[in-house]
């Protein structure tokens, strides 16, 4: 098993090892995606400021109607409201934002991942 993993790492099919933390068990029950339109001249500053906010997990530059999508977690809707209105909304260079609170989520395994139902 070890030699097989070593070969997969060498072939760069595995880049790193990680664990999945159960955010809900830690009290982070609210997940939101926030689409942001920004002054692209201030891109680096905006991304840097976003990562200073507790609860911001990922910032992705995207195509479409938003310039970036921010994935974030909080312990309550009130805390999420404060993150969006008091922290994100005050970052210089952000022109507009739209937030989407996750109500329910389902995931499908990637084709290379075994299904939890399979033996």
Give the three-class secondary structure for 5. helix
d(CA 6, CA 57): 29
What are the pLDDT digits (tens) for 71-96? 999 999 999 999 999 999 999 999 99
Beta strands in 4-119 (DSSP E): 30-38, 56-61, 68-74, 94-101
Residue ranges of domains in the chain, CATH in brackets: 24-101 (3.30.70.920)
Upper half-sphere CA count for residue 68 (Cβ side, 13 Å): 25
Res. 117 pLDDT band, cuts 50 70 90: low
What are the pLDDT digits (tens) for 27-37? 889 999 999 99
């Amino acid at each position: 098993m070890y030699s097989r993993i070593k070969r997969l790492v060498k072939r760069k099919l595995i880049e790193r090892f990680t664990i999945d933390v159960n955010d809900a068990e830690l009290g982070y029950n609210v997940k939101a995606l926030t689409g942001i339109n920004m002054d692209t001249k201030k891109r680096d500053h905006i991304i840097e400021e976003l990562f200073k906010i507790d609860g911001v997990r990922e910032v992705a530059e995207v195509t479409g109607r938003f310039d970036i999508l921010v994935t974030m977690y909080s312990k309550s809707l009130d805390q999420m409201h404060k993150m969006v209105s008091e922290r994100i909304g005050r970052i210089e260079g952000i022109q507009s934002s739209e937030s989407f609170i996750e109500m329910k989520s389902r995931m499908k395994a990637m084709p290379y991942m075994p299904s939890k139902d399979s033996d």
